[in-house]
Amino acid sequence: MVLAAVGQLCSNASITSNLAQCQELVRKAAATGAKVLFLPEASDYIASSAEQSYALAHSQERNSFVTTLQQDAAREKIHINVGIHEVASESRLKNLSIWINDQGVITQSYQKVHLFDVDIKDGPVLKESASVQPGQQIPRPFDTPIGRVGLSICFDLRFPEISLALRRQNAEIITYPSAFTVPTGKAHWESLLRARAIETQSYVIAAAQAGPHNEKRRSYGHSVIIDPWGDIVASLGDEYVTPQIATAEIDLDLVAKIRREMPLLRRNDLYPEI
């Protein structure tokens, strides 16, 4: 079994400050002996407007955020999965989850396919599609020190099709780096994550933003690692005081045991689109 760490922080519009939080989490994770650190969606920054977000994506500080984490990964000999922004066009950004290996090389990148457009009564009004370009493909799962990983991001959690697609390609761990709102987090966060773990018989690792990013936005927190039986094996709370990690051993023998003892043989003759 290999140790994985899930991190929690509160990003704001200061990329320098956010980088310092991420570096603290890298040091904490490496000190535990974890082989992989999972960081939240938008770890580089969370802006207060689309215009500010676009400007930050163009900044030198954003470039330094990634290159510094690459250097940290190589120095600490730890793999890092982190959510960032990248420029897509003159008016839109990419919401990415990238994988940095323990040599400091970016080996995988996933562009979020399901964008968060909501108008919740007495809650947030967010339209991610106004400034973010959706991805058009689901990359294949890939081998890592903790098992075969499939990448997804936040709002993807509400669509079981993406996790089932990753499971069909032998994913053993599915990621959901997130910045969940508080109302939707209270209602659905744990239920959805446990459902994705149970139906795919995979570990689910969800690194979450927590606390107030600005006057208009707060995230739910509750970073978590869930095993393929649906049990929570590591978790954090919702209050943000300092960057935190939680760790759990990833037991691939447990994945194999559950899949062997309860085979989920889907009726593709009845729903071939799945």
Could you list the active site residues?
41, 112, 154
CA 77 – CA 193 distance, rounded (Å): 29
- Give the Cα-Cα-Cα angle 35, 37, 41 (nearest 5 degrees): 155
Strand residues in 156-223 grouped as ranges (E): 173-175, 203-206, 208-212, 218-220
Amino acid making up residue 62: R
Residue 36 near residue 225 (C-beta atoms within 8 A): no
Task: Give every CB contact of residue 17 below 8 A, 6+ residues apart in sequence.
Answer: none
First-last CA distance in the chain: 32
Measuring CA to CA, how many Å separate 41 from each of 81, 156, 178, 209?
A: 10, 12, 5, 7
What's the distance, CA 136 to chain centroid? 18
Cβ neighbours, 10 Å, residue 61: 15
CA 42 – CA 179 distance, rounded (Å): 8
